[in-house]
Amino acid sequence: MNRAKKAILRILGAKNIGRLEYYFRSQLKSSYGGPFNGQAHRQKIFNDILRALPFEAIIETGTCRGTTTEFMSRSGLPIYSVDNDPRLFEFASLRFRKNKNIRLFYGDSRSVLKQLAIDVQVPKQNIFFYLDAHPFNLRDDLPLREEVTFIFDSWKNSVVMIDDFQVPGTDYFFCDYGPGKRFDLEYLAPVTATLSLFFPSVGTDVETGGKSGCVIICRESKVRAKLLNLTSIAIYGERVSSK
C-alpha cells in the first residue's frame, strides 16, 4: 500500500471506511465465498444441529461483515454478535440496521460474553455459539480458550462451533499462529477434558468453498446424544476422509 493511500485511510478513519464499503462495495456482503466460508457441508451441519436441539438464541463472536450472521438469522432465533474491528462493525451495523432480531456489539469478545451472561434478556441455556473472533495478525492475543471456558461455565445445554479449527487426519485449513497457538486439540486440551468434541463427517474432497475446518463442542449427555444422531458430524475418534 503506497503512502498516499495509507494517508487517505488514516484521515478517513476505520469507521468511515466501513460505511463507504457498505455503500460502494456491495460485493463484500458475500465475503469469504458466502456463509460459513461458502462451505455447503458446514451449512448443513449448522442446519442439522438447529433442527436437532431446541435452541433459544445464537451468540456469535467475530461478526466480520455479517455474511454468516445473516445466514444464521434465517433460523428466526435472536442473534447476539460481537466484533472488535471498527471497520467491520460499521459495515455490519449498516447491514443489519433494520433487523431487530440481530443485536450487534463492539468490543472484545470475552467482555461482551460476560455482559451477555448477566443480561436478563439473554437466555442462559440452549444457545448455539459460533466462535470466529480470530485475530488478523500475531500481535493480537487469542480469546478462544477463554471464550470456551466462560461459555460452558455460564450456559447450560449449549453447543459451540469453532471456525478455522484443525480436523484431525484431514487437510482442512486451520489457524496456526505459531507454537502453542495452533487451533487444534492440544490447544483446547486444558478446557475440554469434560466436553464432547465432534468434527465434520466428510473431508475436503466433499466440502466446498474455503474448506476451513471446524469443531463442535457440547457438555451435557442429552445434548451429546442428539448430536450423535447426526450424519453430518462424527464424534472425535471416528474416521474422517483424509482427502
pLDDT in tens, 34-66: 999 999 999 999 999 999 999 999 999 999 999
Domains of the chain, each with CATH number or no CATH = 3-235 (3.40.50.150)
pLDDT band at 139 (very low <50, low <70, confident <90, very high): low
As a whole number of angstroms, the distance between CA 87 and CA 227 comes to: 36
Report the pLDDT averaged over residues 98-126.
Answer: 97
- Nearest one of 132, 146, 150 to 62, comparing CA atoms: 132
pLDDT value at 243 more than 50: no
pLDDT digits (tens, 9 = 90+) for 121-136: 999 999 999 999 887 6
Q: Is the pLDDT of residue 112 over 80?
A: yes
The DSSP output letter for 218 is E
Q: What percent of the chain has pLDDT over 70?
A: 92
Bridge partner residues of 105 (DSSP): 82
All three cell numbers of 88: 467491520
Any residues with CB less than 8 A from the CB of 72 and at least 6 apart, and which? 35, 46, 58, 60, 79, 128, 130
Angstrom distances, CA of residue 163 to CA of 100, 118, 225, 241: 26, 26, 23, 19
Range with the poorest average pLDDT among 12-16, 151-155, 239-243 = 239-243
Could you give the C-alpha distances from 31 to 65, 189, 238, in angstroms and in order? Answer: 7, 32, 33
The region of weakest confidence among 5-19, 45-59, 97-111, 126-140 is 5-19
Confidence of residue 82 (pLDDT cuts 50, 70, 90): very high
CA 43 – CA 39 distance, rounded (Å): 6
